[in-house]
Amino acid sequence: MRGKLAVILKRAVVLALLTGPVGAVDRGFHYVSIPIPVNIEGQPVHCPLYLKLEMKTDNMPIGQFATTPMEKAQTMFVTAVEAARKGDTAKFASVWTAPNQMKSTGRSSVALVEDNTANGWMRVIRDMFDFADLTVVAEAFVGSDWMFIWDSTAKNGIRGRNAFDVGLDKKDQLRLSAVSSATTLQALVLDAFMAAQTKPDAYKPLPTVNTHYQYLIPLTGKAGTSRHPVFFEFDGASMDFPLSDMNVKPPSPLMEFFRNASQAHLSGKDELYASFFTSKSQMKVREWLASTRSSRERMRQQQRDGFVTLKAGNVKFVISADPVFLIFEAPMAGNAWGPENLTYSYAFHQGGAYKATNFEYLSPFDDFLQDPALFDNRFLKPAASKAEAR
């Protein structure tokens, strides 16, 4: 189905399925599972997908936080906040490094401010937030990085939430910077805490979740080497469902829906195909169909002439997080597919019906799924799933 995003992986990572809880660390940090908000056409949707990491809840004003016993990363955070509050450029620069100078855990580029110096960044964040009215919400370990989530009143009078991250820069020096699109998991954690600001009960950290899959994210490029591992927790099922073979019974209503949509697309029934999508995606689908109509008509003519065979692929895995589903498919049957073959689509379950969605939409969750250093889709193969299942 057009609009699915290819996950191109270059090296292997490890799937870890744990049967017991991961131990807590000192300083009051404990492993919890935080729900990940999945953006559906730009709006966050709560669903049972989780990041499991070490964190602690603070919920204290910055003045109170600064009086507690602190380690180096915490001292750097307090230094940056106090410097921002006072407009002390030298003090701010003593701990701050621009995001594009930090070691990245993601592939996305960082949008820079016009003045990428510490002074330029301090002016930007001072223009956005009142640092005299700052509450430290929580702290979290993301691999070797120490993340600080905080609230402050924005200049428009609305309480806003953001985060700083302390980690190594490109010179292997411990520095503090902003959470950005280049720090993929930190951005996803911040998304969860921003969602919790308006829906605290839905997004509260959970001590235990019972999911079938717990994927160890290789934050240092090799699974199991991070000081503070982070896990992606989810439910799902492997399969090998052929979308082109109408004689094979769909294993679920979702697969029946998805096959019908695929067949509508394959047969050139453009308006029917567009109707399978949620409203905002429908508009983008119609635009794409109009722009590709001539090339698709040539392909169908080549099929009629016997030069090509058009057929839909096989669904290999479904991540089930009702009301959100992610459907992974490859163009062939069996397990011979590689990471370069696998694509995924979103489906949304609402009012008892399914709709395809997120056509040409991207979010921090997609940044994670598409990053070969963080997510290896090869563990979705049935052999790996059966070998590692609980």
In a domain, 283, yes or no: yes
265, 329 in Cβ contact below 8 A? no
Are both 301 and 180 inside the same structural domain?
Answer: no
In a domain, 214, yes or no: no
Dihedrals φ, ψ of 56, to 5°? -145, 150
Instruction: Examine the fold and report which residue of 155, 188, 207 is the final residue of a domain before the chain moves on.
Output: 207
Are both 181 and 240 inside the same structural domain?
Answer: no
Name 154's Cβ contacts closer than 8 Å, sequence gap at least 6.
128, 129, 130, 160
Are both 378 and 281 inside the same structural domain?
Answer: yes
Are both 198 and 273 inside the same structural domain?
Answer: no
Measured CA to CA, the distance from residue 151 to residue 317 in angstroms comes to 39
In a domain, 14, yes or no: no
Structural domain span for residue 191: 53-207
In a domain, 332, yes or no: yes
Q: At 57, which CATH number?
A: 3.10.450
Are both 189 and 241 inside the same structural domain?
Answer: no
In a domain, 178, yes or no: yes
136, 148 in Cβ contact below 8 A? yes
Are both 202 and 306 inside the same structural domain?
Answer: no
| pTM of the complete model | 0.84
Are both 268 and 152 inside the same structural domain?
Answer: no
User: Which pair of tokens denotes residue 246?
Assistant: 């109408």
Q: Count how many domains the chain has.
A: 2
Are both 266 and 381 inside the same structural domain?
Answer: yes
In a domain, 201, yes or no: yes
Q: What is the pLDDT of residue 301?
A: 61
Q: Which segments in the chain show pLDDT lower than 50?
A: 1-26, 221-225, 308-310, 384-390
Segment 241-286, tens digit of pLDDT: 999 999 999 999 999 999 999 999 988 899 999 999 999 999 999 9
In a domain, 228, yes or no: no
Are both 277 and 381 inside the same structural domain?
Answer: yes
Q: What is the pLDDT of residue 312?
A: 72
CA distances (Å), 101 to each of 92, 98, 364, in order?
16, 5, 20
Q: What is the pLDDT of residue 165?
A: 96
Are both 200 and 239 inside the same structural domain?
Answer: no
User: Which pair of tokens denotes residue 385?
Assistant: 């799933």
Question: What's the half-sphere exposure (Cβ side, CA atoms, 13 Å) at 333?
Answer: 6
Are both 293 and 369 inside the same structural domain?
Answer: yes
68, 250 in Cβ contact below 8 A? no
Are both 160 and 250 inside the same structural domain?
Answer: no
In a domain, 25, yes or no: no
146, 175 in Cβ contact below 8 A? no
